[in-house]
Structure 1
Amino acid sequence: MLELANLSKSYGSNTILEIDHFSIPSGIFWLLGHNGIGKTTLLKMIGGIEPFKGNIAFNGIDLRQSPVEYRRSVNIGEAEPLFPTFLKGKELIELFAKAKQAEATQVSFLLKTLDVHHYINTPIGSYSSGMIKKLSLILAFLGNPSLILLDEPLITLDKESQEMIQTLIINSWKERNVSFIISSHQELPITASSLSKIMIRDRKLVLLDNIINAGLL
């Protein structure tokens, strides 16, 4: 369970999010809202990489009070990540794997699944946008998270890779009960037994009706 309390975010005098209290249970959720409404900001706040006012806790672990423990349970894949260009992809994965206590078998599985072997040993500065997106997604799945936040996970990916991400999401939910909050302007080719939508409206969050046995649209 993700708990948001007295949560707010402003840029100067412009308040974009103001959430008194909102709870998000286990499951796969599609975060909706028009451009500039605060979807990316909200995911970064929940992911612990954007400052905020208020409180965020996941499964009883408070982000402010126990930041290391919290971040081991909550992973994030950004829409347009900025990685050190001088590092090789494999080096960055090794850093994240150590921090997230990921097993070597999991790293090998993700490298194979997203088919990155032909470039993972070269500097990130030479990567295309699609290569960077795959690297970002690998990092998002590393370790043993209970919640994964994915911001525009399908952009710059080919159809085959999009299908792979769909499979990873569904299998993670079914086999390990990993929850997801996904922001996407693209159609999400995901089906599951129970899917829900969350919308940002008037600076607040609204949980829309569940969609049973259907795609996220």
Structure 2
Amino acid sequence: MPHQTKNFLMLHFVEFKKFYGNYPALSIADFNIEPGIYWIKGVNGSGKSTLLKSISGILAFNGDIILEGGISIKKQPVAYRKLVNFAEAEPLFPEFLTGMEMVKLFASAKDAPAGQELHFIESMKMHSYIDRPIGTYSSGMLKKLSLVLAFLGSPKLILLDEPLITIDTESLKILYSWIREQHDQGVSFMLSSHQALDVDERLDAGELLVENQTLQFTR
């Protein structure tokens, strides 16, 4: 089947299957996702994190995922990972590194423009602790750091797993503003959450329903 042009296709799943041992955790035979902002709904254990980690390249799986009509995670893994960023629900980083050292590592890996990180660090008000060892961070500080890392570089797709937890209301508003800014520049988003997104923030989010006819989630 020919792939659609990148102007109309963000992701294409090709015979995607994820197993944990012999357990079939997730199966998506053939599915296209257009550019946009998507909210992935589902209860604990339904496969939300597995899906996002697979798309990001953290988890191995059978089949393939094609980004923007031509970049395969299997055939062009380096190019693919440069364009897909991911923030975990409960991030873990080397405790001996400082937050800024972690930012610099990610910025280098993602070929981020010089000084790009300053905007995100400043708006999240992280200056007072960004140079401290990560081992001293609270869960909220870790969450902010993981979000900053997810926005570095020139991604085409940003994956946010449970972005609404361990983050204060003011910081959440800042995150929403980042999403709006990046989406206006052509970046797509996939967010998973147990909680409803705040429609008052006008994210204009699409909804990727976890249903049998759309995505096959096996519990």
**TM-score, structure 2 as length reference:** 0.89
Q: 43, 52, 55: which one pairs with 2:61?
A: 52
Detail structure 1 runs of 4+ shifted over 6 Å in the superposition. Answer: none
Shift of 1:12: 2.3
| Structure 2, unpaired ranges of 5+ | 1-9
| Structure-2 separation of matches of 1:117 and 1:71 | 28
Distance in 2 between the 1:100 and 1:203 partners? Answer: 35
Q: Which runs of 5+ in 1 are unaligned?
A: 207-217
Where does residue 71 of structure 2 map in the other structure?
61
CA distance in 1, matches of 2:167, 2:173: 10
**CA RMSD, 1 decimal:** 1.4
* Aligned position for 1:17: 26
Give the alignment partner of residue 125 of structure 1, picking from 116, 126, 135. 135
Deviations 1:133-153 (A, max 9, x none): 000000000000010000011
Residue 100 of structure 1: aligned partner: 110
Which structure has the higher relative contact order (CA within 8 Å, separation 6+)? 2
C-alpha change, 1:43 and 1:102, in structure 2 (3 Å) is same
> In the alignment, does 2:191 pair up with 1:185?
no
Query: Residue 41 of structure 2 is aligned with which of 32, 35, 55?
Result: 32
User: Are 1:89 and 2:99 an aligned pair?
Assistant: yes
Shift of 1:201: 3.0
Q: Deviations over 1:16-60 (max 9, x none)?
A: 211101111100000111110100000000000011111011011
For residues 211 and 189 of structure 2, the distance between their equivalents in structure 1, rounded to whole angstroms, comes to 20
Alpha-carbon shift at residue 104 of structure 1 (Å):
2.7
Paired residue type of 1:126? T
Match of 2:173 among 151, 154, 163: 163
After TM superposition, give the deviation of residue 196 of structure 1 in Å: 1.4
> 1:160-205, CA deviations, whole angstroms, 9 ceiling, x for partnerless residues?
000000110011111x11000000112222424x431112234951
Partners of 2:50 and 2:41 in 1: CA distance: 13
Aligned residues: 204
